[in-house]
Amino acid sequence: MFASTIKKVSQLGLAIVAISATPALAAPMSPQEILALFSDSSSLTGDTHLEYFAPDGSYKVTNIKTGKGSPGKWYVTNTSKICIVTTNKRCWKTTQAKTEVCFSAKGQRVCRAKNKYMRGDQTSAYVKK
């Protein structure tokens, strides 16, 4: 009896962990919240690239090791997706938790801490000289 109770408690614990890790618990972001976070902001993606989202809808990603950049456009849909158009178009459903923003598309989910977004174009501060 004791062993079956432990097994049930363990299974319940695993179920709670699985539920708490699901993207469904992330809060939706309104298009206005997405615009407020991204417009005129920069953020590092990994160790080698910096993205800048200009207020006019232009976008650039810069390799901070080489200084080479790629231009594009960005926009937010009325269904709370952020889209980036460079050589192709990519859109992600955007949600948030207290300290992070999460992007999901095609079954994949990636999150970034909200404090990793910097105001303005930070390219000159991060490009290796």
Query: pLDDT tens track of the chain, all 129 residues?
Result: 444 433 443 343 333 333 344 444 579 899 999 999 999 999 998 889 999 999 999 999 999 999 999 999 999 999 999 999 999 999 999 999 989 999 999 999 999 999 999 999 998 888 886
CATH for 26-126, among 3.30.160, 2.40.128, 3.40.50, 1.10.357? 2.40.128
What's the rounded Cα separation, in Å, for the pair 127 and 56? 23
According to DSSP, the residues that pair with 27 across neighbouring strands are 96
What's the rounded Cα separation, in Å, for the pair 12 and 24? 19
User: Which residue shows structure tokens 């080489």?
Assistant: 66
Q: Which of 103, 129, 104, 100 is nearest to 117 (CA)?
A: 100
Query: Which pTM value belongs to this model?
Result: 0.76
